[in-house]
Structure 1
């Protein structure tokens, strides 16, 4: 008897995982909190000295949690929405049009707002062409728009997705969870291996003396080790689709995620930046998908959270540039903690508005207009968006069973 969750008579997989869409904004928001903390160390003393270190220590691995969540989510969603009728060329076309226009627009905005006077043109061009993640130099990795490096990593994910999913589909259902465990162990082991095999070099930053730039680069920034995060999402999705996943629910997954974050305060930064939260994040993603598939209530499936999730990619890309623009308008001076909190709320609101504009004026029109071939390929279906402007990418082969009427939006995650 098939163990596929979609194999029951009349049972169709839900097309759009709104809970996972809603979860995207909290993931982007914690990255916003982390980048706000960094400003105190980038020559913008926006918060008084006695408070800046306390704030940094509170959120110092929040940004990496958000990034890891997006990496796992990307693999999961693309696998969930995969279709037999798709081709690699069509998939790459959709991903390019989804990611690159906003990326280039925000690159230009960042150069105009703050980066051009302090950024070498070579670094600027490396960032524009998503090549900044191949140099163990933070000035290159985080030049122009600091959030952009993760999109360069995602580009490798998208290029490798056809092969990775093909390999994942070859794993027997009764062994899929074993491979989930192996890949999760590989993710946890990567920071350890980097500390053992990679020469230390200079320290990460004065606040993180236990972590070197070279070791952090290998464990966290270099795309090839991060493919494990993406592969974990693919394998977890395959486990859920095959009916082999043991769901612990969103509440317990959330508790474990909070516990993992707390554990990060007691581990070296190279571990808290990636290893301690990735498994709870995968559990939460799977739990959210299962809740949507079964029609159960979640806090993240309401209209506001889904809308915020829709604009979250633009928010993730543009928030640092917006924050820098606000600081420049107000002048470089320090504020009390309450004043700084108010400014953060102002920056958050401004970032949401700019993200909305990017989504409505660039991202959605471009994906609607050019993501799909104008003519149907023989024997295949073209793709359309749903009434809410959702990209309904039909991506890659999934286990046998009824297919959704329209596939789930294949957002990255950031």
Structure 2
């Protein structure tokens, strides 16, 4: 099957869609009733992105690395670091599932894989490259290391998450490994979408349960099969670099999170999701976060928060679809959500570059918190510029084929 035909078999469109009766090759004849109409935009899910990015910023700001540290009071620093120790296990599953969910929600009838990949490339790659250059120019070697040519090549072309070497995964721009992993999701999406469409609506719950079980098995298999290796974080011997790469970074493993988001999105679209609302989803997510701080490391990273995060994503989409009020769909939160991808790309560079400007001294707790507030403001402003001058205009310009665009202007 060609790439042009992978998505062209139709599917949920951004216009109102039928519910459980939507016919696919594996479905029976559609019933008379249809599911709820579907809005094209989900501002609550956009607004939720920035709090997730803010949590990552806070966690990275207190990492025990020489290129980041600000606090002279190590007790305070350690306390903040411990309190935010579950952020990685909350935010990454949330973002990966959100990506799969949104792609299902916004899938276009008659779309092609080529057109889909073009849109993803236009949105992701230009800001990624700008952030890569900024990191290479501003912070290269600040932590006493230097990027090898191989690491530079791998990170530039989003291949670093495939290498079982944490320094390579985090080379140049520390956070770019997740975009390397996401790139694999986007390559796989057209084929995964075809498989998803063949799942009967009343069987989705079994697939969702199966994927959750597979995610839960990931830490167990990692502990059982992968050699320990060195530690990811200084003075944390249990946090093996080999464990971290295989369970947390390796793209095929993280594909489970993305697939779960797709399945949940399909269940919501077809009216097969039992919604518990945003409040209860948020409560469960807060409880699961606290639990993630107490369980073995990899279980906290991979499984504890994944079900409540999925519930929250679905609840936010349903609230938007029904026009109900949420705290995250106001203008300020939506704007922050729109720049959150750019903020995520640049925030670690801001943290490291600011540290280099301040020299080697550490600061009192009030002074360190003030510096962090300044770094946050600088990160938001830089993200705004990256979004306004790179991400948004290039997405609009390059998302559509020039041939199609020029063809529409001809008589």
Instruction: Find the residue that maps to 2:272 and give its secondary structure.
Output: coil
Specify which of 303, 315, 334 is matched with residue 306 of structure 1: 334
Cα shift at 1:329 = 2.0
Determine the C-alpha separation between the residues in 1 that align with 2:165 and 2:153: 15
Which residue in the other structure is 1:81 paired with?
106
3-state SS of paired residue (1:280): helix
Q: Which runs of 4+ in 1 moved over 6 A?
A: 7-10
Residue 366 of structure 1 aligns with which residue?
Answer: 394
Query: What TM-score, normalized by structure 1, do the two folds share?
Result: 0.87
Residues of 2 paired with 1:2 and 1:222: CA distance?
A: 35
Please show how residues 214-293 of structure 1 align to structure 2 within 5 Å: 214-293=242-321
Q: Within 5 A, what are the aligned runs for 1:65-76? A: 65-76=90-101
- The CA deviation at 1:202 is 2.2
The 5 A counterparts of 1:292-331 are: 292-331=320-359
Q: Deviation of residue 308 (structure 1)?
A: 0.5
Shift of 1:116: 5.1
Q: Is the deviation greater in 228-237 or in 256-265?
A: 256-265
- 8 Å CA contact retained: 1:35, 1:63: no
Give the one of 10, 20, 28 matched to 1:3.
Answer: 20
RMSD between superposed Cα atoms in Å: 2.3
Check 1:313–1:4 CA distance in 2 against 1; reply closer, same or farther (3 A cut): farther
- In the alignment, structure 2 segments of 5+ residues that lack a partner are 1-17, 23-31
Deviations 1:308-342 (A, max 9, x none): 01101100101111122222222222112222111
Q: Which among 128, 144, 147 is matched to residue 103 of structure 1?
A: 128
Unaligned runs of 5+ in 1: 383-414
Give the aligned length: 380
Distance in 2, matches of 1:300 and 1:241, equals 21
Within 5 A, what are the aligned runs for 1:1-400?
A: 3=20, 12-38=37-63, 40-48=64-72, 49-115=74-140, 118-376=146-404
Q: TM-score, normalised by structure 2?
A: 0.88
Q: In 2, distance between residues paired with 1:68 and 1:207?
A: 26
Q: Of the two structures, which has the highest relative contact order with CA contacts closer than 8 Å and spacing of 6 or more?
A: 1
Once residues 138 and 231 of structure 2 are traced to their aligned partners in structure 1, the CA distance between those partners, rounded to angstroms, is 29
- Seen in structure 2, the aligned counterparts of structure 1 residues 323 and 188 have a Cα distance that, compared at 3 Å, is same
| Superposition deviation, residue 135 in structure 1 | 1.8
